[in-house]
Structure 1
Amino acid sequence: MGVLGIIISLALLTFIAYRGYSVILFAPLCALLAALIAGVPLLPTYSEVFMTKGMAFARLYFPLFLIGAVFGKLMETTGAASSIAHWITQKVGKKGTILAVVLSCGILAYGGVSIFVVAFAVYPIGAALFREAGIPKRLLPGAIALGSWTFAMTALPGTPQIQNLIPVKYFGTDAYAAPILGLLAGICMFVFGVIWLEYRKNKALAAGEGYGTGHKNEPDALINPEELMKPGLAIVPLLIVLILNYILTRVMQSWDPAFLEPYGASLKTMAPLWALLVSVAIASLFITIVGWKRINGEANFKAAITAGVSGSLLAIMNTSSEVGYGSVIKSLPAFDKVADFMMGIDFGTPLVSEAITVNVLAGITGSASGGMTIALEAMGARYLEWANAVGLNPELLHKVASLASGGFDALPHNGAVITLLAICGLTHKSSYKDIFMTAVLIPFASTFLIIILATLFGAF
């Protein structure tokens, strides 16, 4: 009955999320349903498991959600994000419209801008470019998803997105784990994703299909590039995040860990998080100073800060609720059977089991960060023990966990998918096929390609 309760609870949560209801409310209800079927006391499960674990996640990662969302809004408000996107489109030309959108999203995401903010920032430019080039608008969400949710979010070395930082806590690594393998995975996602979208574009154009009419949420014409911030200046905040994060991570990891003993914290866990936090804070200060005139007054600055804070609260509460839900499922006696089954996927390496487990849980929860946290909370220590037993570098566990979180997470009920389609004024029916290919199937295949390379050659 316990396993059946878990299945019913997961199916119900997936259905509810797909229908657009808030997981902040329904995740605990679905968790308590599983506990009820398992015969576990409800009130202690809610207060001592769901709330304790969910808020532990928020305590650790909320500062990153907060400063990342504020930084993204400042990049948007100052026009720095639009400037970078316009500069790329000028370089690749009209025939490279899809490539321009993908690169624009990728650079912003790799620079630390929240993937939700990236969609808002790039959509008006992408839609105008697609319209000008006569490319069907239904392909635009796939291009934005490819640039935001794949290579820049999970694969490229040092990416400051939360999906690349969560494994640090469990494996004692940092954001630059297995850099060459990550780069290869990113190249695979990027190249095959663009090839797919170009194939879809050429097929549509050959059939006489154009941009289309009657679309919702249509943007105005392209902004005059002369009114935007110079691209060389606009990209400096992103470089600050990437370079300073790399330097500070290594500086902080060299500190004497003794000063943290009274707090019961680990320097290996906290140093990469502190480094990114400081880096994004300095980048935020920089873009505020150099872009103050473009912000156009204190009122707009307050609005940008408020919007960033509000967005971060919703994001962290959604993810924390999903983590709390997963923690309840993990605490149920029947979960041991599920965990044993996952751990039983043995190809001589824990990487395959880890990839499948993270993918499945990310798909169930509709969240890359939430699904990965649930998986690593439940089995991270066992994967690390297994890796040590077979002489496997923990950096490979980090990289595979990060890559796997960006696969099944983008199923139709994913909040980012729903938000992206709403921003573009499109539907699942018209555009999800391309999102599935670029943000689910290709990243999933790339993850297993990296597992094969890691098995043959180790971490590099």
Structure 2
Amino acid sequence: MDCYPGSPQIQNIIPTIYLGTTTFAAPVLGLICGTLLIVLCFIYLEFRRKQMARSGEGYGNHTLNETVIDPEASLPPWQLSIIPLIVVLVLNFYFSMIFQWDDALLEPFRAMNVPLLAKGVHNVVAIWALVLGLLAAIIIAAATGRKFMSKNTSVKAALNAGALGSLLAIMNTASEVGYGNVISSLPGFMEVADALLGIGQGMPLFNVALMVNILAGITGSASGGLSIALDIFGQHFLAETAAVGIPAEVVHRIAAMASGDMDSLPHNGAVITTLAICGLTHREAYKDMFAITLLKVVVAFFGVFFYMLTGIV
């Protein structure tokens, strides 16, 4: 069985829970854990805001990468501004879960002997869906926001600025994923992974969360750590959890949540990108970023024990 984020084998289209004789189509486990994380992060950030306000700290002097906004410019209403974000979510869901992709789409590329071609459309549906959603959102944002642009800019200039700005995130993320793949090919990596497999015997879901969490930290990437963990140990995870009656979609949710924990160590591409965009250094900002990381760790393992106690998916 192929085991990768978004695959139909490990992620059901509509996860269900059963309460008595009634079926409720809802990703309850993910909803509960996501809500808990938002609440905990808000409490922590509000605590830090009040703490900084008492010490007299203001906005700071790190506006190098910030756009200068004309105070006389006409800004779009917030209702219009969130439409592109909603479009990304809706189209990503539609193309990932509802739209039926034809595997024949890859035949022209197979005929050209394109290297590193995916084995099937199902292997790249998650990427295609996100790209189509983003493309549609960019077109809508350009069309609806054009009249709100200042006289000194244009749609072309905005697209160029966005493309150039994306290079930092792309290169940072790509380098971290490449670094993670190099690390995963080393003999020491497999020794660490094999040692982790022995932790939490009898609690396979706990072992999934622990391994994905630590491997994401080692590789410095949530997506890299998750893909490596599932590529190498996906069959083992599914076999161990299935033996005790844990559905594959639960494994998917726990692994996805755990991948976002220790991936945000100082060498993570997202951390480096965020600090560069904000004009901050690790010394100035990483303490609070690491605190949020710890909250994510707590929520991921809370999800494990919540499912073990309640059985709610």
Q: TM exceeds 0.5?
A: yes
Alignment check: 8 A CA contact 2:266 2:286 kept: yes
Q: Which runs of 5+ in 2 are unaligned?
A: 16-25, 111-117
Distance 2:144 2:86 in 1: 15
Alignment check: 8 A CA contact 1:396 1:459 kept: no
Over 3 Å counting, the alpha-carbon distance change for 1:269 and 1:415 in structure 2 is closer
1:408 positional shift: 1.2
Give 2:125's aligned residue. Answer: 271
Alignment check: 8 A CA contact 2:180 2:220 kept: no
1:186 equivalent among 25, 34, 40: 34
- Once the two structures are superposed, residues 44-83 of structure 1 have per-residue CA deviations (whole angstroms, 9 ceiling, x without a partner) of xxxxxxxxxxxxxxxxxxxxxxxxxxxxxxxxxxxxxxxx
Whether 2:216 is the aligned partner of 1:216: answer no
TM-score of the pair, normalised by structure 2: 0.76
Distance 1:358 1:459 in 2: 22
Over 3 Å counting, the alpha-carbon distance change for 1:287 and 1:425 in structure 2 is closer
Whether 2:88 is the aligned partner of 1:235: answer no
Over 3 Å counting, the alpha-carbon distance change for 1:446 and 1:216 in structure 2 is same
Quick one: which amino acid aligns to residue 245 of structure 1?
A: N
1:374 positional shift: 2.4
RMSD: 3.5
2:98 equivalent among 222, 228, 251: 251
Whether 2:301 is the aligned partner of 1:448: answer yes
1:332 positional shift: 4.2
1:311 positional shift: 4.6
- Once the two structures are superposed, residues 3-52 of structure 1 have per-residue CA deviations (whole angstroms, 9 ceiling, x without a partner) of xxxxxxxxxxxxxxxxxxxxxxxxxxxxxxxxxxxxxxxxxxxxxxxxxx
Quick one: which amino acid aligns to residue 217 of structure 1?
A: T
Give 2:211's aligned residue. Answer: 357
User: Which secondary structure state, in structure 1, belongs to the residue aligned with residue 99 of structure 2?
Assistant: helix
Distance 2:57 2:240 in 1: 53
Distance 2:69 2:175 in 1: 39
Alignment check: 8 A CA contact 1:404 1:444 kept: yes
Give 2:270's aligned residue. Answer: 416
Give 1:137's aligned residue. Answer: none
- Once the two structures are superposed, residues 268-303 of structure 1 have per-residue CA deviations (whole angstroms, 9 ceiling, x without a partner) of 433343333322222222222222233468974333
Distance 2:97 2:62 in 1: 48
Distance 2:283 2:172 in 1: 25
1:192 positional shift: 1.2
Whether 2:6 is the aligned partner of 1:168: answer yes
Distance 1:267 1:246 in 2: 16
Give 1:105's aligned residue. Answer: none
Alignment check: 8 A CA contact 2:106 2:121 kept: no
Alignment check: 8 A CA contact 2:181 2:219 kept: no
Whether 2:46 is the aligned partner of 1:198: answer yes
Distance 1:368 1:172 in 2: 18
Distance 2:90 2:169 in 1: 26
Distance 1:392 1:266 in 2: 27
1:210 positional shift: 3.9
Over 3 Å counting, the alpha-carbon distance change for 1:226 and 1:269 in structure 2 is same
Give 2:18's aligned residue. Answer: none
Distance 1:344 1:391 in 2: 20
Distance 2:73 2:37 in 1: 33
Distance 1:225 1:386 in 2: 62
- Once the two structures are superposed, residues 295-326 of structure 1 have per-residue CA deviations (whole angstroms, 9 ceiling, x without a partner) of 46897433333344445455444444444444
Alignment check: 8 A CA contact 1:330 1:378 kept: no
Quick one: which amino acid aligns to residue 281 of structure 1?
A: L
Give 1:282's aligned residue. Answer: 136
How many residues of Structure 1 are paired with residues of Structure 2 in the alignment?
A: 291
1:193 positional shift: 1.3
Quick one: which amino acid aligns to residue 266 of structure 2?
A: P
Determine which structure has the larger helix proportion and give its number: 1
User: Which secondary structure state, in structure 1, belongs to the residue aligned with residue 5 of structure 2?
Assistant: helix
Give 1:7's aligned residue. Answer: none
Give 2:237's aligned residue. Answer: 383
Distance 2:207 2:215 in 1: 12
Distance 1:394 1:327 in 2: 25
Alignment check: 8 A CA contact 2:216 2:224 kept: yes
Greater shift in the superposed pair: 217-226 or 352-361: 217-226
1:220 positional shift: 8.4
Greater shift in the superposed pair: 188-197 or 383-392: 383-392
1:225 positional shift: 8.9
